[in-house]
Each structure stands twice: as structure tokens, then as C-alpha cells.
Amino acid sequence: MTRPAPTPCGRPGCTGTLMVTGFCDTCHRLPPAASAPATPAPAASGRSAPTSPAAPPTGPASTTSPAAPAPLDRDGLVLLPHIDAPAPGVAASTTARPPSGGRRCGFENCTGTIGVGYDGGPAPDHGFCPECGRPYSFEPRLRPGDTVGGHYRVLGYLAAGGLGWVYLAEDTKVPDHLVVLKGLINTSDAVARRSAVEERRSLTTLHHRDIVRIITYVQHQAPGDDEPTGYIVMEYIAGRSLAWLRHASDAELTGLFGRPFGIDHVITYGCKILGALEYLHEQGLLYCDMKPDNVIHYGRDIKVIDLGAIRRADDRTSGLVYTRDYAPPKRERDQRGFHVDSDLYTVGRTLQALATRAAPASGLAARSFDALIRRATHPEPAARFASAAEMSRQLWEVLREHQALTWHEPYPERSTRFTPTGTLFGAALGTVPDLAHWAAAPDGPRTLPVAAPEPRETARGLPVPIPDPDDPAAVLLGGLAARSPERVAEQVAQDPEFGTVETALWLCRAYANGGGPEEAGRWLETARRLGAGEYDWRVSWHRGLVRLAEGQVRSAEEEFAAVYAALPGEWAPKLALGYCAEHLGADEQRTRDYYEAVWQRDRTQGSAAFGLARVHLRGGDREGAVAVLDGVPTTSRHHDAARVAAVRVLAGRLPYPAGAPGPAEAPGAPGGAGARGAGPAAARLREAAERFAELARTGEGGESRDRLLAELRESALANRPPGGWGPGFPAGEVFGTDDTVPALSRLLSRSLRALADQARDADPSGGGDLRGDLLDRSYAVLPPPRLRLVPAGRRGKRQG
């Protein structure tokens, strides 16, 4: 087997070739950018989510003004500020400060603790292990001025790492080339020895833009040593560790970031860290020791450093290296060791620590971030995120939610967990009443329909989880109509291969939507028996749908809350929770928070828009409701319904809780204490007429336009103040030219006769009772005839 030809360095005057580390074996530098070997890019799902085509532009934007969105980088994350490289004299100290707090002995796997002070005294830098009696020393083996490997001159001490001293050195062969030397604190420590070897082996083959790179490996035997000590030579990352953020003053952070350090910066750090860990996990490695100290912010990027604790994912025998405050609980470590979810636990604790210095997220995004941390650090490992990619995606979604709620700009993005849905629930505001609505005489002025929709309607309108592509039945189920669950159930009984989790969930939804919640519940239990785990969010989602179909909204709320806890970045559970809070009459602010988190991020979500509009109307905020409805874009299939709803909201009467004083929009406006609600002001009525005329010009509405016109005229008549609409009366085609009761009554009567004609046209037999009822109403709204004296020649003729 022939080996590939070595790659030349490419630097002028250098005759070396590139080692497996990517560095030259002669000048020990990376090759020029043009000849640098390609580095595999991390998966988008782990490094960060890709930028949506619909996302806001990532060009220049002010980071100093709270009114401007923060600029984004190529991954759709917040652009980090540039950190200048500190001078070597500032970065490295010439005085060694041994670590304190105690370390594990590790000699022949001894579990004793060394380096602990007694009776309040300082921690000793050398001594004997209290368990095995083995001598130890934390003193550095190198001093400033020492030369290692023939050309690496030590400048000073960077830190006392978890397993050894870290030195800053300069390469005397290459001007201005700084490197990092890492050696062991105590070479008798078996764990440290194993970790050093593992770090050297691992770093040699790892190539990721957010992980520190190794240059080479050298040995150095100091005077008096029995054997040489090995040192890893790494690239020097000139920046600041994230641990600095926890101790910096508010003024320092604001000066660095151009604005107060925010949760969006924390999330950006988290997504980048998770990208690096996902790469390690793909290599079958665990990091084990994530903490703010092990991440360097340099330039506008980050690097994960100190991979001394790295281990194979299947290693269950060697000693663990970790930091207690960031690692899972001791009982878990002792019983199951470290796994991928353990690494994610350390990331969660790291983000939690950084968030203590950050300005909190906006609105519901603060709860979403907290929910993400709770899942990452859940005491039950099975409840945590299963992969770095999954956690990164949810973190990225929380960032989008925070940005939308902060800057009030949409950040739409296709969900990775739920299929898009065009179904609109709770659209009563955007639906013009049918003919039967007009046949019955109203008991007082009509009010706008602002009650929460029925639970079963909502269950049918909520989105469906994306099927598991690895499920054998997923493709077959995609083409079936949900109206035939019995046939699918028969197929399951006949073909065992058709009996999968996705089939059971499909049948659960089909029966729930078809009015069979009991049968839906049985299929949900079947899904659990077929392999849906205890912490599978899909089970909670479907159980919530079944509870809605049964009308048990409070129980449904508990299930949707569990989905929110598992998927804190997704919009679907927030939409469901917003409905539950609204239906149960919970605090309106809570309802508003859920709906707004969905709508602000994606204005095409019609169900959230109508829910938020209902919240505004119940609070007497007509303008707020109209603003939300106007925000539904033309690209949404619910745009027309929102336009109709805006017209109805502007002209309609606002209901409010019994016993509460009615909101008045203008002096003399109908409503007030004891009334059923508040009618519109003349200005709102005028705007409604203008919008209705625009609907007519664009040809929208059809026959429903006549019904909407009847509603507008009825509202103008029923809500007319005792003294009339005044100078603001919107004279025109919709309301006529006279602000009088008789004039408005005649206009309404004309509209009702037009609706009677619709009933006749819809029914070949003449419209039946509905047409007659509409005609009766058209006559009933007219004012009673008035008799007056007339000349004798015309006496007996009715005038009116």
C-alpha cells in the first residue's frame, strides 16, 4: 500500500512538509491560507443552525443602540466582539502560583487528595499523599528562560491546568511565533499520565476550527530528573477565557461588547461550544471537563482548549477527570461514568454560570432559556438532550425567539420537529357571520367574538410532529387520509411490520380528530409499548391532543408543558400552551406571552395572531388587536381573514367581564358601567369603512362582503351615541350621508334584503324560512311610520 506524497509547507524559503497536525515539521507553522489543507466543516446542526433565507440581513448594524438588531455571523449567531491579543508580558506571569483546592493523587489509581491546606493554612505545593504516602509536587519543572526542544524558550506561566503546568514560549527559529507548552504537574499520577498520552494522541488528529490544535510533541530533561518529561506544543490562542466574563465589571463588559452583555452572547458561545463537542462525539470521544476556563474568546471566535480530560466514549475503566461544580452528581459519575449526555450536562452548567452575568432574555425567551438549562442538567440522564446537535438546535431556536421579542422583527424558520400547518383555529373574528346569524333579532347590540375556540377545533388545528424517517411505516402513512383510521388499524392487525410507533401515533391523531378519544388513547398506549420512551415528547404531545379532544384542557396543558420543557425553542408547544391559558381564563399576561412568542417570530402563524388579537380585545385595546392583524403578511394564507377581522374589530363592540367598567374610546361613546361593552369611536368607524372599500376594490369577500356590509351598518346603528356620531361621522357609500337613526335604519334594511336574496339564490325552492326571516328582520329594523297632517286633497295617504 503506497502512502500519499507529503504536502510541502508552501511558506517562502521553507523546505518542510506538513505533519498530520496540519503544522509544518520544519518551521512549525500553519501553511499559508491558499495552500492550507481543507478542514472538514462541522455539521450545521451541531455547529449552529443554518441561517434561514427569510432571516434578517446580516450586514452592518449598530451594536451600541438597543433599537437596532445585533449583527449576525455566517452561522446566524450574534457576531462576537473582537478581542485583541494581549501582550506576552500581560498574558503570562513570571511567578508560579501553584494550584489550590486539592487534587486527586492518582498514583496506581489512588483516590487520596493531595494539595489541601490544614487548619486554615495555605495549600502546600509539595508533600505526601495522606492515603498512599507517595510524594507529590506541584512545582513547575520549567522556569522562564528555559529552552525546550532546542528552540522553544519559556516566557512565563499561563496557568496551572487540571493536569499540568501551561507555559507560554516563543519559537526562537521563527520570529514572533508564540506557542503553548503543556507538561505534567506530578508525573507519578497515573491518571495524569494516561490523560497526557490521550491528549497528545487525540489532539494530533483533531481538526476543528473551534478546538485548539497541536503542533508537535517534544521531551525535555531538567537537571536532576531521572527521565525526560514530555511536553505538548500547541498553538497559542491569544484571548480571554470565558471565566473572565464572570468576574469582569459591568462597565468592562459593556465596553467590550458595545452594549450590556446579554443572553444572546451566552447562547452564541453555547452553540459554538456544542459544535466543537459534536465533532468530538462523532470521533467517539468525550470532552468531560467543559467549563468557562476551558474556552478562549479570541478575535471574534472561540477555541475549546485543555483536552487533557478527553476519553473514549466506551471507556468505563480509567479514572475520570472533571471539575466538580460542572460535572453531573457524584452518584451518577460513580454508577454510570460519563456519556454524551454528561458532556451536555457540563455545557448546561457552563451556560448557566455565564448567564448569571448576562442581561436576561426578553419575554418568554427567558423561560425558554431556563427550560433548556433544566433539560440539559436534568437529574435523570434519560431526560437530557440526546446529542449536541439536538441541544444546539434548541439553543439556536431560543436565540431566534429572544431576537424576535427584543427587536420586534420576525425570524421565521422551518421547524425540525413539527410539520407546517395551514389550519387556522380561533378564526371567528376573521369569519363573517353566515345568513342564519342575521335571521334572529339580536338581544341588544352584538359584541365581537373574543372567546377562546373550542378544544376540539384547536386539537385539529395544532401541528403534527415530523415522522421519524427511520420508521418503516413513515413513508406509507404520509399518503393516507386521516378519515380512514379503521382501514389502517386493520392493516396493522394483518401486517406486523406495519405495527410501528409512527403508525400508532398516526392512528391516535386520526381517532382524536374523528371524535374517538377513547380509541385514540388506546393507540397512544400502543405507541409506548412499541418503543416510545418515558421521556419521548411525542407521547406527551399526542396525549395533549387527546385531552383536548375530550375537552380536558387543564390536563392537556400539563402535557404541552412537558413538551415545552423538552423542546424549549419550538413554537408549537407555546401555541398550544397559549390556547390552554386562554381557555382556562389564566392571567392574560401569561396568555399574551405564549401567543406573542410565536407571532413575533413568525407573523404567518395565523392562530397565534388571532389569539393575541383576542387578548388585546378582552383588555379593551382595539388598536393593539388591529396592529397584530395588520402584521399578518400577504405571504400567509390567513392574510385575507386577518383583513376581514381588522374591519370587524374597528367597527365592533368590545365585550368585557361582567361588573367591570366598560372602556370608553371617546366622550359619549356607548358602553360604560353596566353596559355590555364599548362601541367604536367615530374615527375607528371611518377607518373600518375605508378598509371595507379597499376589500371591495380588490374583489375580495364575494357574497361574504354583503354580510360584512350588513354588520358594519348594524354596528353604526346599534352603537350610535345619543347625540349622534358628530363631525367625525364617516359619510359615504357604506354609512350613507345622514347621521340619523332613520337613515342608518334604511341602509341596514337594504342590506338585510340583499341577504334575503342570497338565501333565495342559495336555495332553488326560494330560500324557505331563512329568506322569510331575513325579510322580516329587514322590515323590523325600519323606524315606525310617523303620521302627520296633510292637505285635504291628500289626506289618507301615509307619509313616512
Q: How far apart are CA 542 and CA 524, in angstroms?
A: 7
- The dihedral built from the CA positions of residue 565, 567, 568 and 571, taken in this order, carries a sign that is negative
Q: How far apart are CA 764 and CA 592, in angstroms?
A: 47
Confidence grade of residue 200 (pLDDT, cut at 50, 70, 90): low
Q: Topology of 448-452+592-712 in CATH?
A: 1.25.40
- The dihedral built from the CA positions of residue 626, 629, 633 and 637, taken in this order, carries a sign that is negative
- Contact (Cβ atoms closer than 8 angstroms) between residue 592 and residue 615: yes
The H-or-E segment that residue 725 falls in is none
- Contact (Cβ atoms closer than 8 angstroms) between residue 504 and residue 531: no
Q: Chain centroid to CA 706: how far?
A: 43
Residue 634 C-alpha cell reads as: 400577504
Q: Which pLDDT belongs to residue 48?
A: 40
Q: What is the 3-state secondary structure (H, E, C) of 74-101?
A: CCCCECCCCECCCCHHHHCECCCCCCCC
Report the percent of the chain where pLDDT is more than 70: 82
Alpha helices in 763-798 (DSSP H): 768-780
Confidence grade of residue 31 (pLDDT, cut at 50, 70, 90): confident
Identify the CA nearest to 152 among candidates 231, 261, 73, 246: 231
- Contact (Cβ atoms closer than 8 angstroms) between residue 207 and residue 214: no
Q: How far apart are CA 146 and CA 151, in angstroms?
A: 10
Q: Which pLDDT belongs to residue 4?
A: 56
For the whole model, what pTM was predicted? 0.84
pLDDT tens-digit map of 629-657: 999 999 999 999 999 999 999 999 998 65
For residue 143, give the amino acid letter: R
Q: What single-letter DSSP state applies at residue 102? A: -
Mean pLDDT of 506-530: 91
What residues contact 180, with CB distance under 8 A and at least 6 apart?
A: 158, 166, 167, 168, 169, 233, 234, 235, 236, 237
Most confident of 1-5, 298-302, 439-443: 298-302
CATH number of 240-406: 1.10.510.10
What residues contact 416, with CB distance under 8 A and at least 6 apart?
A: 393, 466
Mean pLDDT of the chain: 84
Q: How far apart are CA 668 and CA 458, in angstroms?
A: 39
* 410 to 41, 369, 598: CA distances (angstroms): 29, 19, 10
Q: How far apart are CA 604 and CA 290, in angstroms?
A: 39
Identify the CA nearest to 85 among candidates 303, 307, 249: 303
Report the percent of the chain where pLDDT is more than 90: 57
Q: How far apart are CA 29 and CA 220, in angstroms?
A: 21
Q: Topology of 107-113+122-235 in CATH?
A: Phosphorylase Kinase; domain 1 (3.30.200)
Q: First-to-last CA distance in the chain?
A: 110
Mean pLDDT of 446-455: 94
Q: Which pLDDT belongs to residue 767?
A: 52
More confident residue, 475 or 777: 777
SS3 34: helix
- Active site (catalytic) residues: 289
Q: Which pLDDT belongs to residue 193?
A: 62
Please state whether beta strands 135-137 and 240-241 pair in parallel, antiparallel, or not at all (unpaired). unpaired
pLDDT tens-digit map of 597-607: 999 999 999 99
Q: Which pLDDT belongs to residue 702?
A: 66
Q: Which pLDDT belongs to residue 462?
A: 96
Buried b (16+ CB within 10 A) or exposed e, 15-27: ebebbebbbbbbb
The answer for 337, left when phi > 0, alpha when psi is -120 to 50, beta otherwise, is left
Domains of the chain, by residue range, sit at 1-38, 107-113+122-235, 240-406, 448-452+592-712, 454-584
Two domains, one topology: 448-452+592-712 and 454-584? yes
Confidence grade of residue 192 (pLDDT, cut at 50, 70, 90): low
Q: Which pLDDT belongs to residue 700?
A: 62
Residue 401, judged by CB atoms within 10 A of its CB (0-12, 13-18, 19+), counts as buried
Q: How far apart are CA 180 and CA 167, in angstroms?
A: 6
Residue 532 C-alpha cell reads as: 416510545
Q: How far apart are CA 678 and CA 685, in angstroms?
A: 13
What residues contact 687, with CB distance under 8 A and at least 6 apart?
A: 650
Mean pLDDT of 34-54: 38
For residue 45, give the amino acid letter: S
What residues contact 143, with CB distance under 8 A and at least 6 apart?
A: 154
pLDDT tens-digit map of 357-371: 999 999 999 999 999
- Check if CATH label 1.25.40.10 holds for domain 454-584: yes
Q: How far apart are CA 603 and CA 411, in angstroms?
A: 9
The answer for 713, left when phi > 0, alpha when psi is -120 to 50, beta otherwise, is alpha
Q: How far apart are CA 353 and CA 565, in angstroms?
A: 20
What residues contact 53, with CB distance under 8 A and at least 6 apart?
A: none
Please state whether beta strands 311-312 and 301-304 pair in parallel, antiparallel, or not at all (unpaired). unpaired
Confidence grade of residue 113 (pLDDT, cut at 50, 70, 90): confident
